[in-house]
A and B are shown apart, each in its own frame.
Chain A
Amino acid sequence: MNEASLIGLCAASVSFGALLYLAALGEMVSEKAGILNLGVEGMMAMGAVTGFMTALEFGNPWLALAVAVAAGALTALLHGWFTVVLGAEQVVSGLSLTILGLGLAAYLGKNAVGRPPGAVLAPVDWPVLSDIRWIGPVLFQQSPMVYLSVLVGVVVWFILSRTRTGLALRAAGESASTADAAGHSVVGLRLAAVAVGGGLAGASGAYLTLSLTPQWAEGITAGRGWIAVALVIFGAWKPGRVALGALLFGGTLALKTRLQTFGVDFSPILLSMLPYLLTIGVLVAISIRARNRPSPAPASLGIAYRREER
């Protein structure tokens, strides 16, 4: 193991971490408002394919990103319509959204498979900072999506914990009838949160096809949407902790392809179980602690709200 490969590992952990972080932040916003969306994988695939195809067509990566965000949000709003407006089961609707999104993405992207990207989000070269030993290559030669994910993380944290809108949103997730009684539109808040969640999942997908692995192939999301769902739990619904978890889980993704170069005789496949096993561990720990203190999960998570039936 030499210095260059170690730097490569750290840099890749950050890149993968940002990918997971974007999608997880979106899922967190949605869950904070009380809507569990298990469609992340599908929304990510929709963002990935629409972003890639927009780049093919127009050659502008930022337009591609915008389209991917819109596609993710629109896909998510299907879930929103069924779960928030009609009050359907969130688990079933979300899983169907994953199936639908993966199918639709495969269908839309049929002719884009194997084609070279029309545009990529090129890594940002920061003056001075990029040249710092270690820190430069790990933190300051990354795709713009990495910096964007940090920015989104701060914005989400600020809105959720420091603004009235955030308070209302959390109220919708903790106790919908209370939020309603306080004069907030629970349906509006929840729909908005679901759309934001989908938009961020779409952005995460676009990051994949415009920067991380600039190509489109069916199944390119490879279960990372599920890691994002796990990450929200692992991070106990807190943006900061989710960020740390994203680095850790991103690290396992980065390490997976590098184990052999490091001469470690351990199956990369077994390593890739780690995020899920850690999340199960955290779930168990949360439940054990919940005997003494409240669970960090939003209290109304997964429960439909119908004003007429409260």
Chain B
Amino acid sequence: MNRPVLVRREQVLRGGQPRSFAIGLVVALTIGIVLLLGAGHDPIAVYERMFVAALGDPDSWSVTLNRAVPLGLAGLAVAIAGSMGLWNIGAEGQILAGAMMAAGVARIGEGWPGPVLVTAILVGGVVGGSLWALGPAVARSQIGVNEILTTLMLNEVALRLVQWLIHGPWKDPDSFNFPLAPMIPDHGRLPVLFGRAHVGVLIALVVIILFAIAVNRTAWGFELRVAGSSGATARYAGLSLERKTATVLVMAGGVAGLAGGIELAGTADRLTEGISNGFGYAGIIVAALALMRPSGVAAVALLFGAVQIGGQSIQTMGVSSSVSTILQALILFGAIGAGVLSRYQIRLIPGDPGGDEAKAEAS
């Protein structure tokens, strides 16, 4: 009996990443067709509506771009850490922490002039996110506490902190006892570029480009990538990993926190418990599809923004919004599969699965 095994290709297939991405998309859309047919919808009509709502005209582009901002920044927050081999699973919590700090600033600075207030809100977001990542950063760099688990746990803590704030201390007295925080002042909102797209789109793009340059083109980024690919090599080269680990995680938190500030001042206008709405987790998928490279994050985030906005639009057709959630996860699974196959090929080798014969051959 022949046994299939994965064998590393001598050369990685060219154009591997965009191609796996496309395969992922095709796989997801195909399974989506099955799901839609199963629920009695016309898949073509649904996909057409999704496309039009997300990318059909400048107005829909503006909404999609707005959505790509938190996805891209969260993806960047994961990718920055990822380029050093660290897992920042905490973008969700860092976005929330950024939004909380930004909302706090908006409360204090109500009387400040517009430009000052907007800047302060965004800086507040960065500071909030950085502070939220500080604990895991120090714990990881000083005593080696696994950052995957600490950042993950802190997501849940941040969510409850937001809930507590809007149910308690920050509840709007004019909200008829609904758990709603007050709106931020009008002059604290982000200026609009076109349609509904706000200036956060430009800010996010600049931040992503800066980090892409820093990671790919500077000595600092080179050290980061060396540390990411081999901690031992980095230590041998005399790099101080402790400090780098801590800085990188705090920076990642700051980037995610910026997304929280932008969401508050750009789209949400008030602190809500859904202000992050899973952006932090989607950011992990974005970063994974971008192969943890900051330079790839923007394009993936745009695609995911389109899928999300398109997915919201089909609710009016009676299609569950969960379809877009499912599509996002399937894109990733499809892409992971295709990504593996661009680096490995399946070969059949003779032998019984797990049998003695196969072992003898392998060893």
- Tell me the bound Cα distance from A188 to B150 in angstroms: 31
- Minimum C-beta distance from A265 to chain B (A): 12
- Minimum C-beta distance from B291 to chain A (A): 11
- Minimum C-beta distance from A217 to chain B (A): 13
- Tell me the bound Cα distance from A185 to B145 in angstroms: 31
Q: Contact at B89–A99, with CB atoms within 8 Å?
A: no
Interface string of B149-161 (1 = CB under 8 A from A): 1101111110111
Interface string of A286-310 (1 = CB under 8 A from B): 1110100000010000100011110
Q: Contact at B330–A100, with CB atoms within 8 Å?
A: yes
A290 contact set on B, CB distance < 8 A:
144
B362 contact set on A, CB distance < 8 A:
307-308
Known A100-B329, A107-B35, A308-B6; judge A92-B285 contact (CB<8 A): yes
B60 sits at the interface (CB 8 A): no
Q: Contact at B143–A288, with CB atoms within 8 Å?
A: yes
A78 sits at the interface (CB 8 A): yes
**Looking at A103, A185, A269, A279, which has the most chain B CB atoms within 10 Å of its CB?**
A103
Known A91-B87, A99-B285; judge A283-B340 contact (CB<8 A): no
In the complex, residue of chain B having the shortest beta-carbon distance to the beta carbon of A307? B362
Q: Contact at A86–B326, with CB atoms within 8 Å?
A: no
Q: Contact at A183–B143, with CB atoms within 8 Å?
A: no
Known A272-B160, A277-B157; judge A92-B8 contact (CB<8 A): no
Q: Contact at A287–B143, with CB atoms within 8 Å?
A: yes
A273 contact set on B, CB distance < 8 A:
156-157, 160-161
Query: Interface-forming stretch among A53-61, A193-201, A204-212, A225-233?
Result: A225-233
- Tell me the bound Cα distance from A284 to B344 in angstroms: 38
Contact of A106 among B168, B284, B325 (CB under 8 A): B325
A96 sits at the interface (CB 8 A): yes
- Minimum C-beta distance from A43 to chain B (A): 13
Q: Contact at A96–B333, with CB atoms within 8 Å?
A: yes
Q: Contact at B156–A308, with CB atoms within 8 Å?
A: no
Q: Contact at A185–B354, with CB atoms within 8 Å?
A: yes
Q: What does DSSP make chain B's interface, helix, strand, loop or mixed?
A: helix
Q: Contact at A283–B145, with CB atoms within 8 Å?
A: yes
Q: Contact at B154–A306, with CB atoms within 8 Å?
A: no
Q: Contact at B89–A306, with CB atoms within 8 Å?
A: no
A270 sits at the interface (CB 8 A): yes
- Tell me the bound Cα distance from A175 to B187 in angstroms: 59
Q: Contact at A95–B281, with CB atoms within 8 Å?
A: yes
- Tell me the bound Cα distance from A269 to B323 in angstroms: 31
A110 sits at the interface (CB 8 A): yes
Known A38-B152, A107-B320, A107-B326; judge A185-B333 contact (CB<8 A): no
Q: Contact at A86–B160, with CB atoms within 8 Å?
A: no
Q: Contact at B320–A106, with CB atoms within 8 Å?
A: yes
Q: Contact at B322–A309, with CB atoms within 8 Å?
A: no
- Minimum C-beta distance from A141 to chain B (A): 31
B167 sits at the interface (CB 8 A): yes
- Minimum C-beta distance from B223 to chain A (A): 23
Interface string of A5-44 (1 = CB under 8 A from B): 0000000000000000000000000000000101000000
B58 sits at the interface (CB 8 A): no
Contact of B285 among A78, A96, A106, A183 (CB under 8 A): A96
Q: Contact at B326–A95, with CB atoms within 8 Å?
A: no
B195 sits at the interface (CB 8 A): no
Contact of A188 among B285, B330, B354, B356 (CB under 8 A): B354
B139 contact set on A, CB distance < 8 A:
283-284, 287
A280 sits at the interface (CB 8 A): yes
B8 contact set on A, CB distance < 8 A:
308-309
B39 contact set on A, CB distance < 8 A:
107, 110
Known A82-B337, A306-B6; judge A92-B149 contact (CB<8 A): no
CB under 8 Å from chain B, chain A span 260-289: 267, 269-270, 272-273, 276-277, 279-280, 283-284, 286-288
Interface string of B273-286 (1 = CB under 8 A from A): 00000100110110
A112 sits at the interface (CB 8 A): no
Contact of A102 among B143, B150, B161, B325 (CB under 8 A): B325
B146 sits at the interface (CB 8 A): yes
- Tell me the bound Cα distance from A230 to B151 in angstroms: 12
B153 contact set on A, CB distance < 8 A:
226, 230, 276-277, 279-280, 283
A244 sits at the interface (CB 8 A): no
- Tell me the bound Cα distance from A233 to B146 in angstroms: 11
Contact of B149 among A82, A185, A283, A307 (CB under 8 A): A283
B148 sits at the interface (CB 8 A): yes
B272 sits at the interface (CB 8 A): no
Known A273-B156, A277-B157; judge A181-B333 contact (CB<8 A): no
A233 contact set on B, CB distance < 8 A:
149
**Looking at A99, A229, A287, A308, which has the most chain B CB atoms within 10 Å of its CB?**
A99
Contact of B6 among A86, A98, A107 (CB under 8 A): A86
Q: Contact at B149–A99, with CB atoms within 8 Å?
A: no
A248 sits at the interface (CB 8 A): no
* Sample of 15 further A-B pairs with CB below 8 A, known A106-B322, A277-B153, A283-B139: A91-B284, A96-B333, A99-B285, A107-B322, A110-B322, A188-B354, A226-B153, A269-B160, A269-B164, A273-B161, A276-B154, A276-B156, A283-B145, A306-B6, A307-B362
Q: B interface vs A, CB < 8 Å?
A: 5-8, 35, 39, 87, 89, 135, 139, 143-146, 148-150, 152-157, 159-161, 163-164, 167-168, 278, 281-282, 284-285, 288, 320, 322-323, 325-326, 328-330, 332-333, 336-337, 339-340, 344, 353-354, 356, 359, 362-363
Q: A interface vs B, CB < 8 Å?
A: 36, 38, 78, 82, 85-89, 91-93, 95-100, 102-104, 106-107, 110, 181, 183, 185, 187-188, 218, 223, 226, 229-230, 233, 267, 269-270, 272-273, 276-277, 279-280, 283-284, 286-288, 290, 297, 302, 306-309
- Provide 18 A-B residue pairs closer than 8 Å at the C-beta atoms, listed in order of the A residue: A88-B336, A91-B89, A91-B148, A95-B285, A98-B281, A99-B281, A100-B325, A107-B39, A185-B353, A223-B156, A226-B153, A229-B152, A273-B160, A276-B154, A284-B143, A284-B145, A290-B144, A308-B8
